[in-house]
């Protein structure tokens, strides 16, 4: 099945006006510096020195282990770096030397994601919730969806025309985020452009993931999935009530259709009275990946290859949800993270979710890319759709006969396919019911206060997480904080380990009855901040230990022999069993984020840092973990930390 038969109708619509071909409509940005101008000269992700990785690994283990267990691990590490580790390090460097087009972690990381068999929602796919539309009349489901669609298409076209502004981290924006910077770096050849930016104190970031934002889908396969992309596809996939609709959003010349035409198509779908799907195929994307792979193969065998191909190749999925949030943040967090799965296609690179009352979010598949790419799209698209809307409350849909442009997809289903769907619904309902989500908002303190106290805002959040867990459980556990390595070619992420000897010392001091004075505790907080800032810088520069050890372990596994003792050590398993899994995408555009725990006895902590406030979403699986109890301890931890800082600052 294809959409070629609808093209004449699209052309007729275009003949009414040429305004949609103007560059100010077709493109979101027109950068003088090509989007990928810095890509060729980006530095490569460094392979850390084995000695430093071993030292960092032991430093992270120290607050987690007893003196006896630490001594055992220390001895194992000492043997590793002299023997098997030395050999594996050489193998890794040899591979890296032969593959200068990429990073040592890229292929391994793709393999890790695509080989995992657990369901995507909750486990892998995060949610990012947009702030609400403030302008009266622009926040309805139809108007907001149309404006967001238009801005998304403008963003996509800007990427593909290489006129989207390159992603650059400016140490001092006043000095480097300037016309002079763009003029100089544009004139430099790509092979030298990064070095020119560096002289301005600016650091271009890897943008290799941006190409996978659109027309991309993860395809379930037995034991290991694959990523599929068709950049030539011109159609959107829209879901409503578990039903699928497709329509082209570009004309035959690649121009975005007129705003009123897109409005007409989306209105036609919203107004469609087709009842919710009796057998919602989307719920199959919530299943174990091997189960879904078998179900998908069966769907293809009984005549659904073309339908699935249209879903896979669509630009992205727009989900019209027939629910209202009505200010209920608890419901919002659950709905955008997982919902009932019946109006979702979790395999898509990302899905845009919009409720009846205009709340909007993204839910994105994680194997293709990380937070840097999705957040850039999120922010640029939201800003454009809010500040430069093409559809207004008084805009009328065009009379371009949307019924000839929009096609509702029909699946061919037999009893076996229906059974797959029925079982998928049951499995997913049980999975979602096992999850608890709650949140905390600290409205009287934010980034500005942290800076006034000369404490890193991120370190303060991480310290609060440690204090709260110690207060609740009396232990110190493996803690994961994601850090981007996008400063390097094909960098992904590195792990930052926020549980340190400094945080352990503070937690033990602040949570005991005869605790030190506030001035002494404040000094401990600042020490925690100093250590955390150092770890943050090291991780961002590819100088953590987790990805390096991960790469060495994979090489050892591929060798087929006995794994080195370091990887069989219970301490290694424990530090990779991340009970506190934390991540942040702080931005004024983000209302909230969220993801599930990465282990059954863990917490998923998605946190936000704003100028005037702080927030965290806490996900857990009771009874293994008590989310509400942790929130109570977390609130007490924030109160304690800020009271200590205030009293010592007077």
Q: Give catalytic residue positions.
A: 366
d(CA 284, CA 71): 48
Q: How far apart are CA 220 and CA 287, in angstroms?
A: 10
In the chain, % helix, strand, coil (3-state, to 5) comes to 50, 15, 35
| Alpha helices by DSSP H, 41-161 | 50-61, 67-82, 84-98, 106-115, 141-160
Specify which residues 129 forms β-bridges with: 361, 592
Q: Kind of pairing, strands 407-408 and 360-364?
A: unpaired
Residue 247, φ and ψ in degrees, nearest 5? -160, 150
| Alpha carbon separation from 48 to 92, 99, 125, 348 (Å, rounded) | 11, 17, 30, 34
Contact call for residues 109 and 595 (beta carbons, < 8 A): no
The residues near 97 (Cβ < 8 Å, ≥ 6 apart) are none
Query: What does residue 601 show for φ and ψ, rounded to 5 degrees?
Result: -105, 30
Q: How far is CA 410 from CA 245, 246, 304, 319, in A?
A: 9, 11, 9, 17
b or e along 531-540 (b: 16 or more beta carbons within 10 Å of the residue's beta carbon)? bbeebbebbb
Residue 123 backbone phi and psi in degrees, to 5? -70, -40
Q: Are 597 and 604 in contact (CB under 8 A)?
A: yes
């Amino acid at each position: 099945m294809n959409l070629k038969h609808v093209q004449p109708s699209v052309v007729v619509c275009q003949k009414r006006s040429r305004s949609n071909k103007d560059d100010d409509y077709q493109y979101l940005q027109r950068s003088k510096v090509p989007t990928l101008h810095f890509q060729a000269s980006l530095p490569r992700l460094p392979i850390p020195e084995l000695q430093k990785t071993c030292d960092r690994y032991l430093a992270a283990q120290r607050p987690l282990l007893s003196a006896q267990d630490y001594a055992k691990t220390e001895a194992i590490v000492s043997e590793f770096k002299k023997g098997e580790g030395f050999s594996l390090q050489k193998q890794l460097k040899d591979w890296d030397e032969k593959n200068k087009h990429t990073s040592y972690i890229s292929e391994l990381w793709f393999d890790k994601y695509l080989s995992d068999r657990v369901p995507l929602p909750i486990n892998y796919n995060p949610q990012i919730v947009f702030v609400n539309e403030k302008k009266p009349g622009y926040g309805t489901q139809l108007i907001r969806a149309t404006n967001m669609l238009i801005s998304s298409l403008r963003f996509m076209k800007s990427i593909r025309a290489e006129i989207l502004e390159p992603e650059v981290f400016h140490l001092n924006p006043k000095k480097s985020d300037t016309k002079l910077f763009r003029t100089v770096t544009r004139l430099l050849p790509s092979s030298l452009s990064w070095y020119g930016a560096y002289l301005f104190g600016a650091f271009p970031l890897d943008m290799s993931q941006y190409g996978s934002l659109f027309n991309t889908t993860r395809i379930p396969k037995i034991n290991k999935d694959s990523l599929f992309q068709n950049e030539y596809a011109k159609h959107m996939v829209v879901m409503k009530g578990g039903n699928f609709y497709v329509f082209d959003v570009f004309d035959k010349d690649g121009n975005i259709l007129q705003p009123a035409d897109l409005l007409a198509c989306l209105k036609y779908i919203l107004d469609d009275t087709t009842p919710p799907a009796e057998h919602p195929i989307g719920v199959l994307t919530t299943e174990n990946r091997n189960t879904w792979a078998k179900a998908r193969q069966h769907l293809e065998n009984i005549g659904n290859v073309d339908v699935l191909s249209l879903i896979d190749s669509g630009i992205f999925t727009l989900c019209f949800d027939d629910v209202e949030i009505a200010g209920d943040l608890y419901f919002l967090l659950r709905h955008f993270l997982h919902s009932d799965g019946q109006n979702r296609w979790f395999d898509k690179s990302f899905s845009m979710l919009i409720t009846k009352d205009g709340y909007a979010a993204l839910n994105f598949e994680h194997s293709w890319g990380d937070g840097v790419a999705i957040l850039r799209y999120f922010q640029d698209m939201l800003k454009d759709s809010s500040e430069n809307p093409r559809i207004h409350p008084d805009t009328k849909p065009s009379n371009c006969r949307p019924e000839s442009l929009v096609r509702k997809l029909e699946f061919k289903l037999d009893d076996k396919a229906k059974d797959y769907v029925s079982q998928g619904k049951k499995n997913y309902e049980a999975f979602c019911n096992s999850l608890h989500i709650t949140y905390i908002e600290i409205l009287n303190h934010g980034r500005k206060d942290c800076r006034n106290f000369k404490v890193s805002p991120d370190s303060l959040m991480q310290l609060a997480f440690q204090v709260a867990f110690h207060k609740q459980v009396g232990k110190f556990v493996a803690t994961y904080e994601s850090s981007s390595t996008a400063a390097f070619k094909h960098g992904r992420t590195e792990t930052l380990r926020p549980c340190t000897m400094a945080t352990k010392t503070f937690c033990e001091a602040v949570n005991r009855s005869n605790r030190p004075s506030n001035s002494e505790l404040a000094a401990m907080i600042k020490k925690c901040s100093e250590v955390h800032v150092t770890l943050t810088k090291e991780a961002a520069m590819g100088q953590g230990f987790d990805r390096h050890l991960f790469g060495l372990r994979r090489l050892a596994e591929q060798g087929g022999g006995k794994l080195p003792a370091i990887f069989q050590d219970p301490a290694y398993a424990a530090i990779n069993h991340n009970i506190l899994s934390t991540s942040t995408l702080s931005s004024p555009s983000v209302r909230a984020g969220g993801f599930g725990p990465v282990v059954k006895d863990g917490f998923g902590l998605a946190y936000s840092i704003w100028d005037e406030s702080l927030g965290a979403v806490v996900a857990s699986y009771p009874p293994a973990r008590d989310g509400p109890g942790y929130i109570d301890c977390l609130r007490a931890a924030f109160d304690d930390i800020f009271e200590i800082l205030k009293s010592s600052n007077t």
